[in-house]
Amino acid sequence: MAILRACAKVRAPWVEELFWETLGDSCEGVRDFLVRELARRQTLDLGHALGRLERPPWYAKSAVLKLLGIHRVSESIRDIKRVVDDSSNADIRRSAAEALGEIGGTEALRVLVELKKDANFYVRQAAEEAILKASEVRFI
20-75 pLDDT per residue, tens = 999 999 999 999 999 999 999 988 899 999 999 999 999 999 999 999 999 999 99
- Does residue 140 register a pLDDT over 70? no
Q: What is the pTM of this model?
A: 0.93
Helix-helix angle 58-70:28-40, to 10 degrees: 30
Instruction: Measure the CA–CA gap between 48 and 28, rounded to whole angstroms.
Output: 20
Per-residue pLDDT of 106-136, as tens digits, reads 999 999 999 999 999 999 999 999 999 998 7
Whether residue 102 contacts residue 133, with contact meaning beta carbons closer than 8 Å, is answered with yes
Q: How many Cβ atoms from other residues are within 10 Å of residue 83's Cβ?
A: 23
Per-residue pLDDT of 8-17, as tens digits, reads 999 898 999 9
Domain ranges of the chain: 2-134
Whether residue 66 contacts residue 98, with contact meaning beta carbons closer than 8 Å, is answered with yes
DSSP state, residue 71 = T
Instruction: Measure the CA–CA gap between 132 and 83, rounded to whole angstroms.
Output: 22
Instruction: Measure the CA–CA gap between 52 and 124, rounded to whole angstroms.
Output: 25
Cβ neighbours for 87, distance < 8 A, ≥ 6 positions apart: 58, 61, 93
Whether residue 103 contacts residue 129, with contact meaning beta carbons closer than 8 Å, is answered with no
User: What is the architecture of the domain spanning 2-134?
Assistant: Alpha Horseshoe (1.25)
Best CA proximity match to 87, nearest among 48, 125, 59: 59
